[in-house]
Chains A and B, each alone.
Chain A
Amino acid sequence: MSETIEELVSQEYKYGFTTNIETDTIPPGLNEDVVRVISKKKNEPEWLTEWRLKAFRVWKTMEEPRWPNLKYAKIDYQSISYYSAPKQTKKLNSLDEVDPILLETYEKLGISLTEQKRLTGVAVDAVFDSVSVATTFKETLKEKGIIFCSFSEAVQEHPELVKKYLGSVVPYADNYFAALNSAVFSDGSFCFIPKGVRCPMELSTYFRINASNTGQFERTLIIAEEGAYVSYLEGCTAPMRDENQLHAAVVELVALDNAEVKYSTVQNWYAGDKDGKGGIYNFVTKRGKCAGVNSKISWTQVETGSAITWKYPSVILLGDNSIGEFYSVAVVNNRQDADTGTKMHHIGKNTRSTIVSKGISAGRGNNTYRGLVNIGKNATNSRNYTQCDSMLIGNKCSANTFPYIEVKNSSSSVEHEASTSKIGEDQIFYCKQRGINTENAISMIINGFAKEVFKNLPMEFAVEAQKLLGISLEGSVG
């Protein structure tokens, strides 16, 4: 029976192909000149070059964190190439000019970049290695005053916005990987939703690592002005390669008064083979700032890929009555390691946060939830609810929970619930006795376990996420 379980959880990685395309890749190594080269390639203003250099100088003085519950070979930062882009000779004016090989790559990944498919109702920014290759629905969004473009383009077209918000949530000296990213980030997505506008469609970025021996360091910045709303989706895949590749991204979200940002991720980077060879090292800093009153930031993540995951999407609850949410399903199998969770910093009054974390461990996977709930002394009448559930499949995997709670006033309340369960032989037998085979029984049990998180995903993503776990969509009756 355990074989069936393993087969199911470790379905073959479908996105492991490589695209053959000529690239402009700088040689491996990292120093101030490399930082300047990247900045120059992107034709950046001087203040940004300086900002990168400051980050680089800080990074050099920092040490890679060793506190996570992760085991991986030491990363040689000098052996990585910090910039790789598909060669393109001229500036693109429309999607028709995008290299067909790239369009085909995204088609294979199930992402249509052709705008004819309007029915999908999702605008996509496609990031291939270090650069954004296409952004769809740009014009439609522009009519509403929404800016959705690659980060590089934002630097050129909207430098004042970038300057104002870049590093305002995750400063360049924040942590080791954020500093590295700040020095060498290449591209990413930029979104700006002006005052009072409700973004009419889901915005999404699809990250694809293709080149070997490169790192991907994207930077995403999302700003929702007063009363604005946006739902943003992020998907990631990479080819199967024997060596490990580094992915160190930074995502910053800003919500002003009465604004809401919903950020969903389905992370499916290559996880390495069953013996732990290859796979992506995913070291990501994601943070949102509820800067205004009554604002809301919600993170939903489904983490199935990467050899190593180090990721804590957090919310700074600065505005009074602001709300932070974190819903997570993290799956580890084979030799995967994940150390993930969230931080909720309650600063404003009457702030509320909800954390629901579901960890699924299979094979020899090691899954760790690490969370911090920090309620400051002025954050009176604040509330947090945390629920951390772990499910074990087989007996060689592990699950850990490290919740940190700090409360500095007496009118606030914090609730923490945790559970660990095993997919029991009895549960599977019960399903089988009712006519359901083992495979479907496990799907059903996992699906039930992760349901609270899946229901927070936008429809398209919920389907993808469930497929990822080998789960058929639950057609609930009545």
Chain B
Amino acid sequence: MIEIKNLHASVNGKEILKGINLTVNAGEVHAIMGPNGSGKSTLAQVLSGHPAYQVTQGEVLFEGENLLDMEPEKRAHAGVFLAFQYPVEIPGVSNSYFLKAGLNEIRKSRGQEELDSMQFLKLLKEKMKVVEMDPSFINRPVNEGFSGGEKKRNEILQMAVLEPKLAILDETDSGLDIDALKIVSSGVNKLKSPKNATIVVTHYQRLLNYIVPDVVHVLVNGRIVKSGGKDLAMELEANGYDFIREEMLQNA
């Protein structure tokens, strides 16, 4: 589904990603773990096209297409979704209006008919059940006045409505209490299918108890230094990131 080859990216002239190679196939869940400042969130932002980051080298193919050439909205149309670490507030714009506009743009780009208000509302209500969200959120302004947990849940709701092919979850577990974590994870799991893929970016192993990855990658200083099965995450949890650093030093 997505093939990342030797990806380098920088922000304000400072190189953050220093040659990422990663392939994710349909039906797979990949976890990207790593210490603070290793470039995990940068990778998520670069894949979705945030203008603050410059790609200096490498390529990314999404279903064979050059992803890096596309504007962020075109990437969304193609099926890339980013669940933001810090969801943005848009005062005065209702959640449903926002989401309907997004969904219809995506549908339009695929030659599908746009949903009218009634059809959309029906869909939205169904999806809200998946993430156990109160219907009062339909008309509240996007993320405004939401608690940290509500914002994260709202991200997963958007994911449920937009049905992306590739979902990138950027620190979706941060700021969630255990109940919210369970709800969000179960939402993500319900949306999993053999046709879509998920990249979970996280600092802690905790989330991976609920969203079980097929592959775990460890990102340190802008490079993937180790990949393995879900046990790797347990190992990291037990030993911290230092053991990876030590391994690297020994190999050097």
Contact = CB atoms under 8 A, between A and B. Distances in A.
Contacts of A431: 90, 98, 102
Given A432-B71, A432-B72, A445-B93, A440 B101 contact: yes
Contact of B48 (A425, A433, A452, A474): A433
B112 to A, nearest CB: 12
A429 interface: yes
B109 interface: yes
B141 to A, nearest CB: 7
Contacts of A424: 88
Given A440-B101, A477-B120, A427 B94 contact: no
Given A429-B50, A477-B117, A434 B97 contact: no
B73 A436 contact: yes
Contacts of B84: 430, 433
A448 B73 contact: no
B175 interface: no
Contacts of B49: 429, 432-433
B51 interface: yes
A448 B51 contact: no
Interface string A412-434: 00000000000011110111111
Q: Chain B interface secondary structure, helix, strand, loop or mixed? A: helix
Nearest to B52: A425
Interface string A16-57: 000000000000000000000000000000000000000000
Contacts of A425: 51-52
B86 to A, nearest CB: 8
Interface in A438-478: 438, 440, 444-445, 447-452, 474-478
B15 interface: no
A445 B162 contact: no
Given A435-B103, A436-B73, A440-B101, A478 B96 contact: yes
Given A433-B82, A477-B120, A477-B121, A447 B93 contact: yes
A477 B97 contact: yes
Given A474-B97, A477-B94, A477-B120, A434 B102 contact: yes
A76 B35 CA distance: 69
B94 A476 contact: yes
A434 B82 CA distance: 9
B13 interface: no
Contacts of B94: 476-477
Contact of B92 (A1, A432, A447): A447
Interface residues of B, number: 42
Interface residues of A, number: 29
A437 interface: yes
Contact of B76 (A432, A438, A447): A432
Interface in B89-123: 89-94, 96-103, 105-106, 109, 117, 120-121
B100 A477 contact: yes
A434 B120 CA distance: 16
A474 B117 CA distance: 11
A430 B48 CA distance: 10
B148 interface: no
A53 B97 CA distance: 57
Given A448-B90, A452-B92, A477-B121, A435 B51 contact: no
A23 to B, nearest CB: 45
B158 interface: yes
B36 interface: no
A249 B133 CA distance: 53
Contacts of B121: 477-478
Contact of A427 (B90, B120, B139): B90
B72 A433 contact: yes
Contact of B91 (A429, A434, A438, A448): A448
Contacts of A452: 92
Nearest to B78: A435
A432 B72 CA distance: 6
B217 interface: no
A436 B49 CA distance: 14
B96 A451 contact: no
A438 B105 CA distance: 12
Interface string B225-241: 00000000000000000
Nearest to B168: A433
Nearest to A427: B88
B77 interface: yes
Contacts of A429: 49-51, 72, 88
B100 to A, nearest CB: 6
16 contacts: A1-B51, A432-B73, A433-B48, A433-B76, A434-B98, A435-B73, A438-B73, A444-B98, A447-B92, A447-B93, A448-B90, A450-B92, A452-B92, A477-B94, A477-B117, A478-B121
Interface of A: 1, 424-427, 429-438, 440, 444-445, 447-452, 474-478
Interface of B: 48-52, 71-73, 75-77, 81-82, 84, 87-94, 96-103, 105-106, 109, 117, 120-121, 124, 138-139, 141, 158, 162
Given A435-B103, A477-B97, 13 more contacts: A1-B51, A429-B88, A433-B49, A434-B98, A435-B102, A437-B105, A444-B98, A448-B90, A448-B141, A474-B93, A477-B121, A478-B121, A478-B139
The 3 A-B pairs of least Cβ separation, nearest first, read A448-B92, A434-B102, A448-B93
